[in-house]
Amino acid sequence: MEKLMRNFFLFLSKNKVLTKLAKKYGLRFGAARFVAGVDIDHAATKIKEINEKGYVVTIDHLGEFIDNEKEARESVEECIHAIEVIDEQKLDSQVSLKLTSMGLDVSEELVMKNMRDILDAGKKHGVTVTIDMEDHERHRKTMDIFKELKKEYENLGTVLQAYLYESEDDLDELNEFNPYLRLVKGAYKEAPEVAYPVKKDVDDNYKKIIKKNLLNGNYTAIATHDEVIIDYVKELEEELSLSREQFEFQMLFGIRKDLQKKLMDEGYKMRVYVPYGNDWYGYNMRRLAERPANVLFVLKGVFKK
């Protein structure tokens, strides 16, 4: 049943008609549990509250199915504005973004120009920018763009997904850049030709790439709500005599607040991934796919007076 629900929500996440309806009607139907607001001003208030509790943050202006230069440029301007707000309000936050929001599906020339504009703003204001990894169709382009930009900018990180067979090779490919990497299990529906279809294999590969990246000496963000993985990282910390300056844990806004607090209280850096914007639909469906139990919270949101 859980697998069926996961596939169902991943299917819904790609529905363009529902995406447009979601933009029109705003943060309803439980989305506010996972999304911090429709604009950076609303999100900044949440970030400040999160910072005051001792957490650090990365923000993501949500966007799906951008296929023209005008909308891509609007996303760029939003990211630059968010970077300026982070600096102005002294927020302890990074910025995460998707290359499709920057024009990846339009042209390589456009996405490279847009990314340089954002990274220049990040460099000016001391804000790190992380490129989120999307589906496998865009994986190779994302890797190539990251490597090219990393030659020019220090304030840049990216994401590797443990469910892809090639993730370990990606680590080897990126190691020369001494990269800042967020390691995740993966949240897209992929064919068994490119991704592990069995959860145990994904988990085993996740552990493998976490250990390898730490042994490589690269900064590692472990983005998971899985306590088995978290306990494994703690074991690695002791086994490898790791400094806590070399890694951090990351979790999604609105999910497992109890575990976030526990890790922070234990002295680990805990970064909360805070999305905002009115293009929340695809993101929200993928969160439900990751953990179908979240459907309960959505249903409560629908029927709450």
CA separation for the pair 145, 295 (Å, rounded): 36
pLDDT of 303 strictly over 60: no
Question: What is the average per-residue pLDDT within 8-13?
Answer: 48
83 confidence band (pLDDT: 50, 70, 90): very high
CA separation for the pair 21, 26 (Å, rounded): 9
CA separation for the pair 48, 90 (Å, rounded): 9
277 vs 119, higher pLDDT: 119
305 confidence band (pLDDT: 50, 70, 90): very low
Q: Is 291 a catalytic residue?
A: no
pLDDT of 175 strictly over 70: yes
Mean pLDDT of the chain: 87
- Across 120-129, 200-209, 264-273, 275-284, least confident range: 275-284
Q: Tell me the three state secondary structure of residue 220.
A: strand
pLDDT of 270 strictly over 50: yes
Q: Is 132 a catalytic residue?
A: yes
- Identify each DSSP E strand in 46-132 by its residue range: 56-61, 93-98, 129-132
Question: What is the average per-residue pLDDT within 80-101?
Answer: 97
Give the active site residue among 132, 170, 203, 279.
132
Query: DSSP letters along 279-292, please?
Result: --HHHHHHHHHH-G
Question: What is the average per-residue pLDDT within 196-222?
Answer: 97
The pLDDT of residue 277 is 85
Element containing residue 156 per DSSP (H, E): strand 156-161
| C-alpha distances in Å from residue 274, one per residue of 79, 154, 182, 277 | 14, 23, 15, 10
Give the active site residue among 60, 170, 182, 287.
182
Q: Which position has the token pair 């790609």?
A: 14
Tens-place pLDDT, residues 23-53: 544 555 445 667 888 899 989 999 999 999 9
pLDDT of 228 strictly over 80: yes
Torsion over CA: 9, 11, 13, 15 (sign) = negative
The pLDDT of residue 63 is 73
For 28, the token pair is 């309803």
Question: What is the average per-residue pLDDT within 114-119?
Answer: 98
- Across 28-37, 120-129, 293-302, least confident range: 293-302
281 confidence band (pLDDT: 50, 70, 90): low
Check if the beta carbon of residue 34 is closer than 8 Å to that of residue 298. no
CA separation for the pair 41, 46 (Å, rounded): 9
278 confidence band (pLDDT: 50, 70, 90): confident
Q: How many CB atoms lie within 10 A of CB 180?
A: 18
Check if the beta carbon of residue 175 is closer than 8 Å to that of residue 209. no
Structural domains of the chain in order of their starting residue, each with its CATH number? 35-279 (3.20.20.220)
pLDDT of 169 strictly over 70: yes
Question: What is the average per-residue pLDDT within 119-145?
Answer: 97
Percent of the chain scoring above 70 in pLDDT:
80
